[in-house]
Amino acid sequence: MQAALERAERVGLDLVEISDKSDPPVCKILDYGKFRYELQKQKKMMKKNQHVIQVKEIRVRPNTDDHDLLTKMNKAQKFLLSGDKLKVTVMFRGREMSRKEAGRELLDRVINILEDVAIVDKGASLEGRRMSVILSPR
């Protein structure tokens, strides 16, 4: 260890410990400022190449009309093509809760419309007054 420190001083560089977990610890003789800069640059590149997946949500009601549904599905297709996940939620109000099968049929229609651009991540599930399905891009 002492010989390595002397050697680093002679050359005018720093002795940097690379891995402290191994026995003996792994060290390198290099310029510490440059080493930190390279690590920072590497982290920045990793962060830049990372794609954050967002979950977009589209809400519909059990008695949503065909044209309105088609408009919402066009928007849903854009979300999926841009690489985001999609949560389609059917919201029930009042007595609509007694017609849960209508909501399930609506979600099945949505899945059929979007089947060429999406796959089902999580099937239809009822949470309180909302029934939802999660789709991810194909």
Return the CATH number at 108. 3.30.110.10
Residues 40 and 102 in one domain: no
Residues 45 and 76 in one domain: no
Q: Tell me, what's the pLDDT at 78?
A: 93
Residues 79 and 131 in one domain: yes
Torsion region of 101: left, alpha or beta (phi above 0 gives left; psi -120 to 50 gives alpha):
alpha
Q: Tell me, what's the pLDDT at 56?
A: 93
Which residues of the chain have a pLDDT value below 50? none
Give the single-character DSSP code of 1.
-
pTM, rounded to two decimals: 0.63
Q: Tell me, what's the pLDDT at 93?
A: 92
Quote the tokens at residue 16: 């940097």
Distance CA 28, CA 36 (A): 13
Q: Tell me, what's the pLDDT at 25?
A: 84
Q: Tell me, what's the pLDDT at 3?
A: 87
Residues 32 and 60 in one domain: no
Residues 104 and 62 in one domain: yes
Distance CA 41, CA 8 (A): 25
Q: Which domain holds residue 102?
A: 55-137
Distance CA 126, CA 111 (A): 16
Q: Tell me, what's the pLDDT at 73?
A: 93
Residues 63 and 42 in one domain: no
Residues 29 and 6 in one domain: yes
Q: Tell me, what's the pLDDT at 17?
A: 87
What's the structural domain count of the chain? 2
Which residues have CB under 8 Å from 113's CB, separation 6+?
70, 73
Residue position matching structure tokens 């059990």: 62
